[in-house]
Structure 1
């Protein structure tokens, strides 16, 4: 498994730094080969197990500054503190002496404060050197990277230029929604229908599995709009006793009278889920399969045109230090078998509705609104815009959805739009329609309707 190699490399890095500190700055000690080997072997085993746990549970993306290896600073800090424990007892004894002297008492100890004979000054030197290296890289260098990649006007303009934005003429109307495929069922109603069908087949699935209200995904299947949600484990004990969940629920998004359908056939089971334990966790399964070189984000359950379940995952890589993530690959995981296929963003299968994560779209448009027409340092907020809410998925055509984002000024008192963005769900391309400016947004519209008497 790849994590075994990553843990080994991490251990080698940590031990190299500690060894330099011990041998290079602890030279007042007479070199004792046996003591050094015991120290080296003991801390190597400890760090290997610690690195293995960090890689397995946190799944660090090996991309960006330092190649993503900054996670090694955690075992380095812990090991450095462990080496400094050799100094803890004498230091506490010294503090006791100082406290006693300040109160006019004499120390009750008969021996002078000194390092025990079996303690190596080299270990203390290793601990101090390790902490200095960790602080230098984790605070100083990392801070400078943030400053030189995100601060100042040139960097702000670079962030604003990441999304490929086309500002349409004021006379260009906003594209209409496809009248043949209108969403008439809300996600809340879809959740209600899904809960009903979960317990309607006599299998008592509700005792072991649930349908998360936030997991319903709107998507086009065979040119028709549906909500799809996976069945999830109720608790860790159900997860431990089962290798997969029975399937998923499909709710018609266009017909309010249609009944929800529970798909629990032999090929509908879902073996990998976000948040499942150990290797059943979807992102951990993908990470352990070798996709360690990017951030794995936005796992979304999508069905192909034969209603077979797949997970789509966006693999992102930063372009401006730690930020400026851009889509590098799209991973499609068979939810039933776990087989993974990677695609360039422009070559995903046609049944995949979205590969640009909504959070990424929101971040892109936040940068664009803040900096494309305003300077980086702008305490007045003049000329700035901001998204008025989370991106909403709309279908101008049944098989070509877009993210719809209303923009407003940076003023907290402004409840009208400056325009509407339609952001492509398959590529980094957005169109800004200023013809939609002046529309009411947010709580302003809700309060207006609520205060209107019938």
Structure 2
């Protein structure tokens, strides 16, 4: 810390300011002090006068030394964000004034209280006035609400469609168990390293969890960085998030030496801060792997949006290459094509702030008058307001069919007991752009959804916990997807995957399977039966069915058949749809309809036998007289 050359100039400047203020305060003592010097003169007492100037100068020197140490500690360890009042230097100025006030009042005999109060008031009043100027009133409310650039969709629009073949089937706790397993498979890695924070991300269109290997020995984590060195990690682990049966991967041909929680020179944020990124928040440090499997840290550099005082604006995306022992920082603007592989350009914390500000202040009522704004700000009125849902379901990372990621934020009322969704905000993750879907309402979020899915009793599925609840658009329906898991000491294991139509929250409507295709087939079947009054839409049209059965066979609780001349579809039908299903045979002529989900497997909505196959005859129907 002491020998680090960065921020010495600022530390010296504010130490001098502290010394100057101490001298000014010390001059308040107008009475000369005396000093007794008995020493070698025995009993011959000699009294010398100490002038106020000399006392103040001694105090100033002491304040300089003390404050220099404080400033160095602050710039090295605390890393203050140089934004806000006094041209962004409020924090170092505060740390200069505090020792000046203490030492100055001691040397002045408490006669500098008045001047000390003036300095304290200046420190408090100036930022308070600036903050009020930038935040108070309906005009400022509109500025904050406009920050996320939200457009409002029509009532008929829905979420971007999800690629149902790429759903997340591995939860973070499952991934943690897999990562620890692969770490122990390589020599003594498990004694030298731990698995860092696992981050969900897309690599070449496939979803993985990635985490760096983090040194754990004290010689690497304390003594090496204490003397200016950096211990290295050989690489990272990858866990497939889409395939629960895929083996985890260990990539150990790198020299990573920056980490989130390491001290001294191995600390990631300190490295970036000392590189000059000190005038904004270093938000959302995330370990990410690019499409060439090269490791990086990414950080969202957030600066104040208004007056260098308040608001959040994503200024840059910092990508730190850590493949070698010489890290390199690259800065990009949001939306730059070079960082299309980065999943979280707009960080989760910024999204939460944007969603809350837009929900509370983005409607006409709070912007109409100062009185309306004040009632909203003080919580006296909740008219036309909404807030993001709480918990993990309040902010979900989702991947769409066109292979990009979005933040999905269900919005609810400010009533703490209300689990009803009154609209959904969808934020792009790479640029500052969002869309509000007011037509996506009338369904629940959070705990009640987990409880419903937990209540599914088929095959003892209620013996498992529910993790990773996500909201998707599957086959044109808002769909809650969750993973059933069983906890272990080091993580959890897979039990099943469950799907439920968000607007038909019933235990009986939970579709599940021990693999993705089985769960999707069950979900298609429930949609095909039209349960809960659900209707098809443009993404899953009802299509007429008319043809001759080529093959039919039992398939669990349903029967699966294929029609002559149609090699694209396999049809599932149950006795709930057509009671005579077990009596159908190859060659029978059937008509009806099915829900076209644009997949090979289709669920029959209704079916009727109109002609028997060769060698069979339909039972005669007696006419009523």
Per-residue displacement from partner, 1:306-353 (whole Å, max 9, x unpaired)?
Answer: 211111111111124643110111111112422111112232422222
- The alignment covers a number of residue pairs equal to 412
Paired position in structure 1 for 2:71 = 51
Contact 1:423 1:430 in 2 (8 A): yes
Aligned pairs (5 A) from 1:75-154: 75-84=96-105, 86=106, 120-121=107-108, 124-125=110-111, 129-133=115-119, 135-154=120-139
TM-score, normalised with respect to structure 1: 0.84
Secondary structure at the aligned position of 2:421 is classed as coil
Q: Among residues 288, 311, 327, which one is paired with 1:324 in the alignment? A: 311
Q: Among residues 190, 198, 207, which one is paired with 2:191 in the alignment? A: 207
Secondary structure at the aligned position of 2:420 is classed as coil
C-alpha displacement of 1:164:
0.3
Aligned pairs (5 A) from 1:282-321: 282-320=268-306
Paired position in structure 2 for 1:357 = 347
C-alpha displacement of 1:129:
2.6
Contact 2:56 2:104 in 1 (8 A): no
- Which one has a larger percent helix, Structure 1 or Structure 2? 1
Paired position in structure 1 for 2:389 = 388
- Alignment CA distance shift 1:201-1:51 (3 Å): same
- Which one has a larger percent strand, Structure 1 or Structure 2? 2
- Alignment CA distance shift 1:70-1:350 (3 Å): same
Contact 2:22 2:63 in 1 (8 A): no
Secondary structure at the aligned position of 2:260 is classed as coil
> Mean Cα displacement is larger for which, 140-149 or 280-289?
140-149
Contact 1:393 1:402 in 2 (8 A): yes
Aligned pairs (5 A) from 1:19-418: 19-23=23-27, 25-26=28-29, 31=51, 34-72=54-92, 73-84=94-105, 86=106, 120-121=107-108, 124-125=110-111, 129-133=115-119, 135-203=120-188, 205-212=189-196, 215-234=197-216, 236-240=218-222, 241=224, 243-265=231-253, 268-320=254-306, 322-335=309-322, 336=324, 337-347=326-336, 348-373=338-363, 374-375=365-366, 376=373, 377-378=375-376, 379-389=380-390, 390-397=394-401, 399-418=403-422
List alignment gaps of at least 5 residues for structure 2. Answer: 33-49, 225-229, 367-372, 459-625
Q: Which has the larger radius of gyration?
A: 2
Partners of 1:271 and 1:171 in 2: how far apart? 51
C-alpha displacement of 1:292:
1.5
Partners of 2:331 and 2:24 in 1: how far apart? 42
C-alpha displacement of 1:217:
1.0
Secondary structure at the aligned position of 1:314 is classed as strand
- Alignment CA distance shift 1:449-1:261 (3 Å): closer
Partners of 1:187 and 1:385 in 2: how far apart? 30
C-alpha displacement of 1:237:
4.7
Greater relative contact order (Cα 8 A, min sep 6): structure 1 or 2? 1
C-alpha displacement of 1:236:
4.8
Contact 1:249 1:262 in 2 (8 A): yes
Contact 1:76 1:131 in 2 (8 A): no
Q: Among residues 6, 10, 24, which one is paired with 2:10 in the alignment? A: 6
Secondary structure at the aligned position of 1:346 is classed as coil
Per-residue displacement from partner, 1:389-415 (whole Å, max 9, x unpaired)?
Answer: 342111114642111111111112321
Secondary structure at the aligned position of 2:121 is classed as helix
Partners of 1:237 and 1:152 in 2: how far apart? 55
- Alignment CA distance shift 1:233-1:137 (3 Å): farther
Partners of 2:457 and 2:299 in 1: how far apart? 47
List alignment gaps of at least 5 residues for structure 1. Answer: 87-119
- Alignment CA distance shift 1:33-1:18 (3 Å): closer
Secondary structure at the aligned position of 2:357 is classed as helix
C-alpha displacement of 1:160:
1.4
Paired position in structure 1 for 2:369 = none
Paired position in structure 1 for 2:542 = none
Paired position in structure 2 for 1:102 = none
Secondary structure at the aligned position of 1:147 is classed as helix
Give the root-mean-square deviation of aligned CA atoms.
Answer: 2.3
